[in-house]
Amino acid sequence: MNSSLILSITTFVYGLAGFLYISAWIFRKPLPGKLALWTTILGVMGNLAGFILRWVESYGAGFGRIPLSNLYESLVFYAMTIVVIYLFIEYRHKNRTLGAFVLPMGFLCLAYASLSPDMGVQIRPLMPALKSNWLSVHVMTCFVGYAAFALAFAFGIMFLIKERGGKGNLIHALPKLDTIDELIHQMVMLGFLFLTMGIVTGAVWANSAWGRYWGWDPKETWSLITWFVYATLLHARLMRGWQGKRIAFLSILGFGAVIFTYFGVNLLPGLHSYGS
């Protein structure tokens, strides 16, 4: 049993949980909802076990390090954070239709990590510039922030569906519009706090490694762009008439910036200058 096998299994557990949440929403029966919750809890435990086991395996390979240093490892952590935050919200709001929007994202995240052929599943040692405690804090805070933004995105979609949806049963089962709006706002605040911490710890790390806290490289700049977008959202809420639909749109746009910061930057000239 190794970590990547556990994580592959977890992928399917998340997929099943997503399926159950969607069934619970469509058929509005309590049983699939309960099953979905327990499946999700099982999935999180698998996800955590995979994360910890990978950490242990790195010691076996002769260089212990927290598994947060490449795309594969960050996706594993990302999926886990998304689902953990979701569980907390389900516990607080007791509405399982939210799961139908969130669990598929956790599933996609791990599926991409487990199934994509060019993923760095191999455990590699860290290059000199990455050996810093700030790095672990940096990656963790960034991904908690991204996870909160992913949920804000899911709630944004939910808001738009509810808003234009009419009176059908499916629509009726979704939370009230101002509850969803409040959820979006809460997730954006959580995300903004953690993204801020992520940018700050990244700057402190860069300063300790290279003596500059900011260098306008594309990854840094895109995280700042994301930060500007969500700051815009937070202030737009203060303007008259900017609640609800437009905020939902902004939460979707903001998540676009997150995705670009995460994946898209690799397509641009001049990489996030790890090392060199």
Residue 239 interacts with ligand HEM (CB under 6 A): yes or no: no
> CA–CA separation, 233 vs 238, rounded Å?
9
CA–CA distances in Å: residue 259 to residues 52, 150, 245, 253: 26, 9, 21, 10
Quickly tell me which residue has 């191999």 as its tokens. 122
Residue 148 near residue 85 (C-beta atoms within 8 A): yes
Q: Output Rg (C-alpha) for the chain, integer angstroms.
A: 19
Quickly count: other Cβ atoms within 10 Å of residue 6's Cβ. Answer: 20
Among 66, 129, 161, 259, binds another protein (CB under 8 A): 129
Supply the minimum distance, in Å, between the C-beta of residue 158 and ligand HEM.
20
Supply the minimum distance, in Å, between the C-beta of residue 176 and another protein.
10
Residue 172 interacts with another protein (CB under 8 A): yes or no: no
Segment lying near ligand HEM (by CB under 6 A), choices 21-29, 131-139, 169-177, 234-242? 234-242
Residue 202 near residue 139 (C-beta atoms within 8 A): no
Supply the minimum distance, in Å, between the C-beta of residue 45 and another protein.
28
Which stretches within 28-132 are classed as H helix?
30-60, 71-93, 97-115
Q: Give me the 22-61 binding string for another protein, x by CB under 8 A, dash otherwise.
A: ----------------------------------------
Segment lying near ligand HEM (by CB under 6 A), choices 36-44, 140-148, 228-236, 256-264? 228-236
Nearer to another protein, 37 or 151 (CB): 151
Among 231, 236, 253, 259, binds ligand HEM (CB under 6 A): 231
Report the first-to-last Cα separation within the chain, whole angstroms.
Answer: 36
Task: Count interface residues toward another protein (CB under 8 A).
Answer: 48
Residue 132 interacts with another protein (CB under 8 A): yes or no: yes
Cβ-Cβ contacts under 8 Å for 232 (sequence gap 6 or more):
250
Segment lying near another protein (by CB under 8 A), choices 1-9, 36-44, 154-162, 234-242? 234-242
Summarize the chain as % helix, strand, coil (round to 5).
75, 0, 25
Quickly tell me which residue has 């996870």 as its tokens. 147
> CA–CA separation, 43 vs 45, rounded Å?
5
Interface contacts to another protein, rule CB under 8 A: 62-63, 124-125, 127-129, 131-132, 179, 182, 189-190, 192-193, 196-197, 200, 203-205, 207-214, 216, 218, 221-222, 224-225, 228-229, 231-232, 235-236, 238-239, 257, 265, 268-270
Interface contacts to ligand HEM, rule CB under 6 A: 189, 192, 231, 234-235, 238
